[in-house]
Every structure is written in C-alpha cells, then in structure tokens.
Structure 1
Amino acid sequence: MNSTPVYTTAEIRKIESLALSILPNPPTLMEKAGLAAAEIVRARLLVGDKHRILILAGPGNNGGDALVAARYLHRWEKQVTLVFTGEAEQLSQDAKQAWEQWQFTGEMVHQDIPANGQWDAVIDGLFGIGLSETRPLTEKYQQLIHQINQLNLPVLALDIPSGLLSDSGRVPKVAVKATITATFIALKPGLLTHDGCDHCGEIIVCNLALNTVALLAPHHWLLDRASIATRLPAPRLANSHKGTYGRLGILGGASGMVGAALLAGRAALKLGAGRVYLGLLVQKDAPIVDPLQPELMLLPPSDIFDPNFLDSLVIGPGLGQEIAACIYLEQALQTNLPLVLDADALNLIAAYTELSDILKARQATTILTPHPAEAARLLNTTVDEIQCNRLNAAQILVQQFNCAIVLKGAGSICALPDGSCHFNTSGNPGLSSAGTGDVLSGFLGALLVKGFPAENALLLAVHLHGAAADVLLEQQHGPIGMTASDIIPAARDLLNRWVYSNKTHDS
C-alpha cells in the first residue's frame, strides 16, 4: 500500500525521542528543520528580486526552528527581520544554541513586528504542535497572528500554522493563514481536517531523514490518489453481463424527498452497478419511472429486502422518520446484506435504542456516512464537540457501532474497525450543496455490490467523490453552483480514466 502516514502529537513526540536515542552526532533535528524551511523560502518565496523576510520565532522549539532558518537566510544574504517573543534563558538546549548562533550575526532582534516594515514573505515560527485546548494562545499572540494575516504576504508556517491545534485541526481563537506549511517528521491530523483545510495552504512534509514507519508503526494514513491505486476495480471482461456487476437496492425517497433516492440511484448506475432497484417510500403520486435515468427500476419498498434478490442495500437517502421508515430500517438491519446507512437512517438509529442495538449486533458489512450533526446525534453530544476532535469522534463511532464510517466534512475521515483512520485530501466547497451525500451513498453501494471489501469501497468512493468535485472546480473556475448531479458524470469519467490508464495521479 503506497500511503503516507499521519501521526498524532503524542506519536510525534515518541518518534522524536526514539530518533534522538539512535541518531549519530549533529546536525540536530532542529538544525535539519530550520535548514529545510530556509531552503523552501529561498526556492519558493524569495525568488527573483525578492529578498526581504520577516521571521517570527516563538518561545519554544518551533521558535528554535525559526532561528535556524533565520541564520541560513542571513548567510545567503537575504534581508532578515527577526522578531523573538521568548526568553533566551528558558529555551531548550537546541533552541538556546540556535539563539546564540543568531546572536553571532550581530543583527537586531525585535520584540514586536516593526511598524511600517517592508517584506516579501513571512516565516511563522511562533508555535508548533504544543498548543492544545488546555494551552491556548494568549492575547499577545492572538494580536501577533492578526498582524501576520493582515500583512497579506506569502507565509511559510513551520510544522503547523500557529493557533491551529495539531490533533484536531481546530482554531479556538485565531490561526495563521499559511501559503505553505513545512511540516516536520510527518503529517499531523490537524493539517488535514476541519479548520486545517483553510489555514495550511500547500503542505510539504520534511521528514528530516527519519524513517518514521520503522520508528513507530502508524495507525493513520493520508487518503490520496496514490493510496487508492491498489483499490481500483479491475477492467471489465468482455465476457460479462449486467448480472456480473451486482444488484443494488436503494431504500428512501419519502414524500418531498424523492430526489435524494433518485440521486443515489443515478450515482450507483454511473459508477457501474449492474442493476439498481429503488424502493420509494412516497405514497401519493409515486413516479413510475425516472425520466432522466429510465434504467432505474422502481419497486414498492417491501420488495427490497430479499437477500436472494439483492447483493447490497443503501438505506437513508430521503428516508424520512415516519413509522414506515423505522419498520423498513429494522428489516434492513436484520438482513445479512452489506448495508450503507445514510441520512435519516442514521437519525433513526440515534433516536431509537432498539435500532442501535440491532446495528451493533450485525455481522454483515455496514458503512455509516454521518455528517457532523448526524454524528453528534449518534453519540448523544453536540456538533461543537464532534468538530473539536473529529478524529476522536470517528474512532468512537467505529468502536460503538463496529462499522466502517466516514465522518464527512472538510477533510473527511474514514475510520475502520481495525483502528486505522484515513484523512481524505480531495474535495472542495462545491460539495457544500444538497444531495452530494446521497451521491456518495450511491457510489458506495455501487462498489459494495460488486463484491468490494468494505475498506476498499469506502476509501475509493470517498476519494473519488471529492476528486470529481475537484475536476469540476477547475472546469467551472470555482465551486459556486456546483450540484450533486454534476458530480455523477465527472466521477464516472474519472474512474474510467483511473481504471483504464491506471494514472491515479492524473485528474
């Protein structure tokens, strides 16, 4: 599996400790980090006639990294303005050495950002991964970060943008908006989810010549195009027919919400399901056929549950929460069919202990697809609590329901019963529109119905869903007005390209 590991703050600290016990003599990790940062600035931010850099060095080791970068940039004849906010006598040994080496340059050190200064770029070295809910930014640092953001200059953040929490991706107060984040040793969860998606800019991993996987086995991974290369379906055989590619049932579409079930069905067909049956709950004026996708077969909901008739089932898009929905959901949970549970199916499970207990006892494959509000209902908490630590919430959902899940949102997190989590890198704000979750459910159903393992189906569907939106973003020059219906053909085209050219990096 060609995947990039992701480590929590505690795991990074352990890797640092292990590395220090086996590393030969200098350069130290701080020296390597500062040099790597300086090289990125020289190559990416101070090009041509640009040579003026503002560097903010904080009171900890992140500040030490910034001091090392300042020394190299000064050596390379860049004009360095250094702001140091710490106390030299309180620095760690490596950071104190970096401070003393800067002192040898004879250059001035500022305590605040000089008024009316002129710079071409900024290095943010105020705080790294040490901030937490119990160690928030003081007012002084909040003001400094506001000043950095108001400069409207390219910013290189060291390790993680200051103010962003490393494990959760939450910004409790304010955080630096970076152009590039040079993250050291390995990726951290907070770079990849929640507010991190809006603050990190381009992320460059500087591993400092450490083999992190050898030092500490990872439990979390980056979900990108390279990592799904081995999860793609095989090219279709000439000697095949519609039965070869599975029979999928989709249950939902109560009165006023038929469109949700239709979107899921259309998505499943376009992603290759052989036959798709819609069991619509709508009673009055139920459609006889989908005029835009007449290949969909519309059935009474009661005809959906025969395991000899279907290979897997999606339940939830437009399901509603009436008594009939509860009855059908209970029937679905009691089958041995692989299930995708979305939308109101999740809300009903959260509302009724009986349904929750049946779900927990299921042995067959089940995938849950909650957004933060649905996750909050399932865990009997608030949306804020879910968003404060999305990784933890995803892990608790898996443990509680023994299912694979995707916690949707900026930086969707796919969590699996084996304890691993995968942070999705695809997608954009164009997915913030009605029906995109129904489309994802259809994609999941189409993959499950072809016998895909739940892990492969989940990871491929989630990444493909976002990647299709990214293709549309480029074609439409932005996310405004992107619809769920747009995602379906874009995903079909992209999946065909990936399967038949095996160029998972090419969109």
Structure 2
Amino acid sequence: MHALYSVSVIRQIEQAALQQVLAGTLMQRAGLATANTALALLTVAPRDASILVLAGPGNNGGDALEAAAQMAEAGANVMVRLCADPERLPADARQALLRARQTSVVFIDEVPLRRWSLVIDGLFGVGLARAIDGTAADLIRTINRLDLNVLAIDVPSGLDADHGMLIGQTALRASTTLTFIGDKPGLHTLAGREHAGTVLVDTLGIDGALYPPCALELSGPAIFRSAVRPRSHDSHKGSYGDVMVIGGADGMTGATILAARSALHAGAGKVHATFLGTVPAYDALHPELMCRSASGIDVGKAVLVTGPGLGTSAAAATLLSEVLHSGRPLVLDADALNLMSTDPALQQRIALHPAPVLLTPHPLEAARLLGCSVEHVQGDRTAAAAALASRLQAIVILKGSGSIIARPDGHMAINPSGNPALASGGTGDVLAGLCGALLAQGWPAWEAATGAAWLHGHAADVLVRDGHGPIGLTASELTLQIRREINLLKPARQDDRTGDAIPVPAQPTGRPQS
C-alpha cells in the first residue's frame, strides 16, 4: 500500500520519532535527503551548477539550510535567500544556519534573475496557515514566471497538504516534491497535481511501528490487478457479462452511445443501449450494440449503467425508480445522480440496494447530493467522497484532478492518473461504461472502481504522451485506448502462460508499509 497521511497524523508520527533520536537528527536526515535528491536532479556536475535555496522561518527553512550546507560540501555553487529573522528561527534551524555559514554557501538579499540549475523551495511547509504575502510571495511569483526546475521540500509553499487547495492566491509550482515521513493527500488531488510535480517520499528512517493504520492510499494497478483474469479458450460472450446502459432522452443519445461503446471495448460480453426517447435502429459505427426502447425493458442479468443522457423528466424519474427496484449491480452517473439529489426516497433505496452500487459524480453532482456548495466539496474532497459513500452505502468515484474513490467502510484511494485531456464532453460517460464492463466481468466493486478510474486516466496519459492531446482529445479516442490498456494488464499470478502483472508506475522507495 502507498499510504497517504494527514498532516495531523504526520505530526503525531514525528513527535513519537523525536522521542527516539537526538535533537536535530530528523532535520539532518531531511537536509541530507534533500541534498541527495537535488544533486540527482542536476543535469550538470555539481561544480558547474548554480543552485538557489529559498529558506523560510520554520523547520522547513531549517531543512533547506541543512541541504544547502550538504550541497556546498559536495562542491555545488549554492546561494541562499533567507526569508526569516535568524534570531527567531527554531533551535534546530538555527543550528542548520550555523552549519551553512561555515561552508561556501553564499547568502544573498536579492535574487538575481538568471537561469538557475535548480531552485529549492524551503519557504513554508505543512504548518502554513495563512496566505503568503510580502517578499516571499514576490519570490514565488518570480520563480513561477521563470519556469525553472524546482524542488519543493515536503510540500510546495502555499499548498494545503491535506486537501490540495491553495492557501490564498500564491503557491509555488514545483517540478519535484520531496515529502517527508509519509506521503500527503493534498499532493495528489485538486491543485496539488499542478503544483507538486513528481512526488518522492523519504521516511527519514522513522521506525515503521510508529505509523498508524491508514485509511487513505494512492491508487494504482497493485490495488486491482487481483481482479484481472486470463480469458479461457473455453469461453463465450455469456462468460463476460451483460451491460445495459439506460439513458438516451431525445437530444442526448450520444452520451448513451458513448457509455455503451466504452462497455463494449472494455470487454463486456453483450451490451444493450436503451433509450428513453427515439430509439436508433442501430449504431452505425458499432452494430454490435443492441439498441432498444427503455419502455418495459427486461434487465435480465445485466449490470445497469444508468444516467448518461437520461434527462430529469418525470419519465426519467420513473425509469430510475424501476432500475433501483431491479436488484442488479448499478453504476449511477450524470442525470441519475441529479434525480437522486432531489428525492431522499431514492437515496434511501440506494443505501438499501442488495447489489453493488458505484456512483460517479463530478463535484457539482456531489454538491447537489450533499446539499452543499461546490466550494465545500472541493475544499475537502476526501471528506465529501467519504460522506457520500457512507450515506448511500455505495462506492463513490468523486471525479476531478486526483479523483477520490471511497468505500462505505471509510477506506479511500486517490487516483494519480489522468490529465486535462479529460476535460471534454463524453469522457464521464466513458468512465461509467468502463465501470459497468468491469463489474459485468466479475471484478469486485472496489477493484472495478479503482481499476476504471486508473485505466481511464492512464489511457489519456498515454494518448497525450503520444501527441494526441491534451487539446482536442475526444471521448471516442479514449475508449479505444482503454481497450489497449486493459489488454496490457496481466493477472497478478505469475506463470509461464501469462507472465507477471504489468509494472506499477514507479513509486519512491523507503515509504512505510501498512
């Protein structure tokens, strides 16, 4: 598990660790880890590098000063801009300042506008509680404009490490963040993905026994690959389940078709597209889809993906009520969620549904269900997802940058894949169809939700890498790439026929296991 810890839990771990080591030990380890990471990021030899270190008034600044001393001793040319009163630094940070002054580190009052080899952000850490202003804010704006290679210590200055929000209007944009003791959720959701860059973790050698059980993790193939199964030669379309996409009000049939095509390409054995409005004779691009009227449908043994293009008419509400009485596994998206938000009885029925239920709200849909503002949802995305999952006894994928996947028992994951290419019409319908296809193929609900979110984002990442976005990428292109990525997944069990599972995207070593 790649565990994610809140700032309050990180502080508890740190306080427990401080009882086991000499004063200053953790700061020395943090400084050494920062120096080693910084030197590894350089594209030139240390003696040819010019490194700017921004050091603030707290222990984050002390880490930066310790790193500056270490880098200078390694032969790098290091300049430090100290944005703090030296006399008011914490005790460990004062010792780090003394060490830095005994090396070749140059302390400066003004930052020259030049092409630095690397900038190290040690201005403010996880303890920041107010908007950054004054000299520090000016420095951050200057660094951001220059588009430099930036290493943030623990958290980019100005970013909320718990929630991924900006604290005020100014936050540093890092290319790499080296975070200490444990990884933080705010680095992986909302603005965190924009500002943190690549996240590395160093536990500072803290005893793993000091880490409490964790209810939040970073998602990836390791979570869901146990659900991947090789296809047997002795199988048929009935072996891989049925998906029925229910929506298709007049003027919105495209959403239903996109979700159905996604389920088809994601491996469901049979896919039905049902329409509340006019029923097309067939899908010209994919005649494999079975198009039918939503009136008097027989859901059979299908997974029901309900909501794409459904609308919010009285007929749509009646149809949704029938779906909720089916007892079948459900994926509820778009207008199904909007209808639920206005009818507490529908929400109660979801909470009592006998089969797995997956909800895929975007922030506005989540806000409607919770009866709050979008700002409230985005202000604490993990809390919003957890509240929905608990209230509705369903697995929730709260979409957005760093989607939050939450279970009714309180366990959650943050999805690290995806990019702005997904900010286009229809990609949510594709995700809903993908969820339905994985459920139909026998994936457990948690694995289906985490797997769908990761595959959806990863397909977009691959397409952008290959030059097909982020501008102009369409939902239809995404569906075909998802098919390719599913076929690259291998079962978790290794044998001569299938090989091992695909490698999990590289994660930093040294994090605690839980």
Same topology, TM > 0.5: yes
**8 Å Cα contact 1:62/1:126 also seen in 2:** yes
Give SS of 1:181's match. strand
- What is the identity, as a one-letter code, of the residue corresponding to 1:17? Q
Q: How many percent identity over aligned positions?
A: 43
Q: CA deviation at 1:250?
A: 1.1
**8 Å Cα contact 1:314/1:442 also seen in 2:** yes
Which residue number in structure 2 is paired with residue 296 of structure 1? 289
Q: Give, in whole Å, the separation in 2 of the partners of 1:477 and 1:213.
A: 46
- What is the identity, as a one-letter code, of the residue corresponding to 1:432? A
**8 Å Cα contact 1:63/1:95 also seen in 2:** yes
Give SS of 2:378's match. helix
- 1:480 is aligned to 2:471: yes
Q: CA deviation at 1:141?
A: 2.7
Give SS of 1:374's match. helix
- 1:128 is aligned to 2:129: no
Give SS of 1:292's match. coil
Q: Return closer, same or farther for 1:213/1:406 CA change in 2, 3 Å cut-off.
A: farther
Which residue number in structure 2 is paired with residue 209 of structure 1? 205
Q: Give, in whole Å, the separation in 1 of the partners of 2:339 and 2:196.
A: 37
**8 Å Cα contact 2:164/2:192 also seen in 1:** yes
Q: Give, in whole Å, the separation in 1 of the partners of 2:417 and 2:441.
A: 24
Q: Give, in whole Å, the separation in 1 of the partners of 2:116 and 2:444.
A: 53
Give SS of 1:31's match. helix
Q: CA deviation at 1:116?
A: 4.6
Q: Return closer, same or farther for 1:411/1:44 CA change in 2, 3 Å cut-off.
A: same
Match of 2:163 among 163, 168, 172: 168
Which residue number in structure 2 is paired with residue 96 of structure 1? 94
Which residue number in structure 2 is paired with residue 278 of structure 1? 273
List gaps (5 residues or longer) in structure 2: 491-497, 506-514
Q: Give, in whole Å, the separation in 2 of the partners of 1:263 and 1:501.
A: 33
Match of 1:41 among 38, 41, 52: 38
- What is the identity, as a one-letter code, of the residue corresponding to 1:199? H
Q: Give, in whole Å, the separation in 2 of the partners of 1:38 and 1:107.
A: 13
Q: Return closer, same or farther for 1:46/1:63 CA change in 2, 3 Å cut-off.
A: farther
Match of 2:26 among 26, 29, 40: 29
- What is the identity, as a one-letter code, of the residue corresponding to 2:50? R
- What is the identity, as a one-letter code, of the residue corresponding to 1:119? W
**8 Å Cα contact 2:83/2:136 also seen in 1:** no
- 1:347 is aligned to 2:329: no
Q: Give, in whole Å, the separation in 1 of the partners of 2:374 and 2:90.
A: 39
Matches within 5 A, 1:70-149: 70-105=68-103, 108-110=106-108, 112-116=109-113, 119-132=116-129, 135-149=130-144
Q: Give, in whole Å, the separation in 1 of the partners of 2:459 and 2:120.
A: 34
Q: Return closer, same or farther for 1:213/1:334 CA change in 2, 3 Å cut-off.
A: farther
**8 Å Cα contact 1:179/1:202 also seen in 2:** yes
Match of 1:181 among 172, 177, 182: 177
Q: Could you give the per-residue CA deviations for residues 275-326 of structure 1, whole angstroms, max 9, x where no partner exists?
A: 111221113xx201111111111222134354xx123211000010011100
- What is the identity, as a one-letter code, of the residue corresponding to 1:5? A
Q: CA deviation at 1:223?
A: 0.9
- Give the stretch that moved more between structures: 27-36 or 64-73: 27-36
Q: Give, in whole Å, the separation in 2 of the partners of 1:26 and 1:263.
A: 60
Q: Return closer, same or farther for 1:102/1:38 CA change in 2, 3 Å cut-off.
A: same
Give SS of 2:466's match. helix
Match of 2:243 among 239, 248, 255: 248
- What is the identity, as a one-letter code, of the residue corresponding to 1:174? T
- What is the identity, as a one-letter code, of the residue corresponding to 2:205? A
- What is the identity, as a one-letter code, of the residue corresponding to 2:13? I
**8 Å Cα contact 2:3/2:218 also seen in 1:** yes
What count of residue pairs does the alignment treat as equivalent? 496
Q: Give, in whole Å, the separation in 1 of the partners of 2:111 and 2:138.
A: 14
Q: Give, in whole Å, the separation in 2 of the partners of 1:348 and 1:116.
A: 55
Q: Give, in whole Å, the separation in 2 of the partners of 1:255 and 1:179.
A: 46
Q: Give, in whole Å, the separation in 1 of the partners of 2:116 and 2:400.
A: 36
Q: Give, in whole Å, the separation in 2 of the partners of 1:297 and 1:318.
A: 17
Q: Give, in whole Å, the separation in 1 of the partners of 2:114 and 2:483.
A: 52
Match of 2:214 among 213, 218, 236: 218
Match of 1:262 among 257, 265, 269: 257
Q: Return closer, same or farther for 1:401/1:51 CA change in 2, 3 Å cut-off.
A: same
- 1:333 is aligned to 2:324: yes
Q: Return closer, same or farther for 1:151/1:332 CA change in 2, 3 Å cut-off.
A: same
Q: Give, in whole Å, the separation in 1 of the partners of 2:209 and 2:447.
A: 22
- What is the identity, as a one-letter code, of the residue corresponding to 1:324? A
Q: Give, in whole Å, the separation in 2 of the partners of 1:89 and 1:141.
A: 18
**8 Å Cα contact 2:223/2:450 also seen in 1:** no
- What is the identity, as a one-letter code, of the residue corresponding to 1:275? K
Which residue number in structure 2 is paired with residue 421 of structure 1? 412
- 1:436 is aligned to 2:427: yes
Q: Give, in whole Å, the separation in 2 of the partners of 1:262 and 1:502.
A: 35
**8 Å Cα contact 2:13/2:210 also seen in 1:** no
- Give the stretch that moved more between structures: 262-271 or 96-105: 96-105
Q: Return closer, same or farther for 1:367/1:211 CA change in 2, 3 Å cut-off.
A: farther
Q: CA deviation at 1:206?
A: 1.5
Q: What is the TM-score with the length of structure 2 in the denominator?
A: 0.92
**8 Å Cα contact 2:131/2:170 also seen in 1:** no
Which residue number in structure 1 is paired with residue 65 of structure 2? 67
- Give the stretch that moved more between structures: 137-146 or 172-181: 137-146
- What is the identity, as a one-letter code, of the residue corresponding to 2:275? L
Q: CA deviation at 1:115?
A: 4.2
Q: Give, in whole Å, the separation in 2 of the partners of 1:50 and 1:43.
A: 14
